[in-house]
Amino acid sequence: MSRTATIWNNENEQFLIENFAFITNRRLSEQLDISISSIKKKAHELGLNKGCVKRKIIPSLEKDVLKMSKTNSYRFVAEMLSISLSSVSNIINNAASKGYKKRSKQDTGKIMSETRKRIIKKERARAVFGLDPRTKIKVYPNKQKYHMRDRLKRCRYIVERNGIDVFIDEETRRHNTIEDDARRLGFNIQKTVIAFYPIDFVFENGSAEEQIAEELLHNKYK
């Protein structure tokens, strides 16, 4: 059986037929775990189109788009409201032609910066779980060092954040091979220390790692 036939079983095909007109291709890709290009190709074979999406652009939706676009990227707004990126752009441009004031370049720059930080955190979280990146952003220039940091942490070594010093305490499960490999990569294995973390201590990638873990568990048991 071909891979295409395996991907497009009766259940997935029926879901596409029922939802293609109302849901963005990106959201369909996430829900079906199928590439966007494959979704477009299958939709063309079935004669599906996005004609019904236009009927969803109602005044209340336009209001939500304009409000959310003040503090979020257009792509994020599109994903949250389940409409296309072009629809978001068209709504804002039409409103601007009627006197609506778009956000400033400074505000856009801040939003882009925050969006990039959020994407980097999620990409780092995916790397922690050994998943392939979804973007071309290089979050870890030195993959060997990153994977070594992860190995050390899993064995309860205390690794300096954004540094090369590695500390040992009473909970560390020491491994000569790992320590030798770490030294070759430039890490410094230090003597025993006692570290105290605040109660509200959070990991480097925050909720991004928790989200990736939940997605993996969901995919495993669905």
For residues 50 and 155, the model is more confident at: 155
User: Could you give the angle at which helices 59-68 and 85-97 cross, rounded to 10 degrees?
Assistant: 90
Q: Quote the CA–CA distance of 64 and 69 in Å, as a whole number.
A: 8
Residue 153 amino acid letter: K
pLDDT of residue 199: 47
Residue-wise pLDDT for 33-60, tens only, equals 888 889 999 999 998 887 544 445 567 8
User: Could you give the angle at which helices 176-184 and 143-154 cross, rounded to 10 degrees?
Assistant: 150
pLDDT of residue 140: 66
Residue-wise pLDDT for 89-140, tens only, equals 889 998 899 898 888 889 889 988 888 888 888 888 887 777 777 787 777 6
* 8 Å CB contact between 98 and 71: no
DSSP 64: H
Question: Residue 149 contacts by C-beta under 8 Å, 6 or more apart in sequence?
Answer: 159
CA neighbor of 25 nearest in space, from 88, 74, 89, 85: 85
CB 9: neighbour CB atoms within 10 A?
10
pLDDT of residue 41: 92
pLDDT surpassing 50 at residue 6: yes
Residue-wise pLDDT for 185-202, tens only, equals 888 888 665 555 554 555
Sheet holding 165-168, edge to edge: 158-159, 165-168, 188-192
Residue 83 amino acid letter: I
pLDDT of residue 194: 52
Specify the residue for token string 């309860």: 156
Its pTM stands at 0.44
pLDDT of residue 202: 53
Q: Quote the CA–CA distance of 5 and 30 in Å, as a whole number.
A: 19
pLDDT of residue 211: 77
